[in-house]
Structure 1
Amino acid sequence: MSVELDTPVAVRRSAMDLLARREHGRVELTRKLRQRGAPPELIEAALDRLTEEGLLSESRYLESFVSYRARSGYGPLRIREELGQRGLQRNDIEQALRECGVDWREKLEECWRRKYAGRLPADMRERSQQMRFLSYRGFPPELIGKLLSGKGGGDD
């Protein structure tokens, strides 16, 4: 099933097939095209052209990724780390997180209610367990602390 990606047209077609499924970052798209056997010089030329045409957009990818992960119950710290691992620039990541319009406190509360049915921890063991889970999901410790102290609700 291996397809030969030895022409600019084949590389472009493969890149567009991937972009048709979902947004991709340049680094991720480069990696996928390399895995499919495309030579680096053809990849760069194809991606430059797709960027010029507006079909490949790092900012659109960032916006899409942040939105998707936030809807999936992940916080800004985890999303920042995942995007960094995908080879995106720190400044671009920070800008995308600032401009995403997500209320992280609200997302934290949704995640917590789904997992713990809105039940505040009864003892230190439960509190530690809830804090670890919410930290793992990528929410800031100060927001978690407020929530688990009963001060994180929308009434403040």
Structure 2
Amino acid sequence: MPEVTANMLRHAAMNLLVQKNYSHDELAQKLSYLSDNDELILDVLDRLEKERLLSNERYVEGFIQHRAAKGQGPSRIAQDLEKKGIDPEMIVNALKVSEINWQELAKSVRQQKFGHKHPRKSREINEQREFLQSRGFPAELLANLF
């Protein structure tokens, strides 16, 4: 089997990026299946970042928008981004500037699941609160919802 070169890794990375946006760590993992030369992989990724073809900031922004559109809250989104190797400080900053009204999103998600009628019994309130918390909406955000 021929030795994998930087050009081959770059070509593979570009093919992956055309299909989907990846974080730095995700793309490094994908490229590690082609080469066990970590230094070469990091050099290729650094070059892609300098050329603005690979950007964790852009990845995080898109990830937040996509997940919010699916009805997920900031806690769940942050947790999933951390699992993907994104710096927690970058996540916090991106969530702050995302211009998503998390309160309105939680209200909308609640209405999609349970309808427009507000719960009256504490059992119903707890069920809806637990559902929203499982979707990643923190308790302090839900205080004004019920």
Q: TM-score, normalised by structure 1?
A: 0.86
* Runs of 4+ with deviation above 3 angstroms: none
Q: Which runs of 5 or more residues in structure 1 are unaligned?
A: 149-156
Aligned-pair Cα RMSD in Å? 1.7
Amino acid at match of 1:69: R
Q: Is the 8 A contact 2:9 2:34 kept in 1?
A: no
Structure 2 partner of 1:31: 29
Partner of 1:147, secondary structure, is coil
Deviations 1:20-52 (A, max 9, x none): 122211011111211x23221221111011001
Amino acid at match of 1:37: L
Amino acid at match of 2:82: G
2:88 matched to 1:90?
yes
Structure 2 partner of 1:133: 131
Aligned to 1:64, which of 62, 65, 85? Answer: 62
The alpha-carbon deviation at position 4 of structure 1 amounts to: 7.3
Greater shift, 117-126 or 128-137, is seen at 117-126
Amino acid at match of 1:70: A
Structure 2 partner of 1:144: 142
Aligned pair in 2 of structure 1 residues 128, 28: CA closer, same or farther (>3 Å)?
same
Larger relative contact order, structure 1 or 2 (CA cutoff 8 Å, min sep 6): 2
Aligned pairs, how many? 145
Q: Is the 8 A contact 2:22 2:59 kept in 1?
A: yes
Partner of 2:143, secondary structure, is helix
Amino acid at match of 1:139: F
Amino acid at match of 1:77: S
Q: Is the 8 A contact 2:75 2:136 kept in 1?
A: yes
1:71 and 1:117 map into 2 onto residues whose CA distance is 18
Aligned pair in 2 of structure 1 residues 142, 8: CA closer, same or farther (>3 Å)?
same
1:119 and 1:6 map into 2 onto residues whose CA distance is 61
Deviations 1:2-25 (A, max 9, x none): x97712112111111111122211
The alpha-carbon deviation at position 104 of structure 1 amounts to: 0.5
Amino acid at match of 2:137: F
1:115 and 1:4 map into 2 onto residues whose CA distance is 54
Amino acid at match of 2:142: I
Structure 2 partner of 1:13: 11
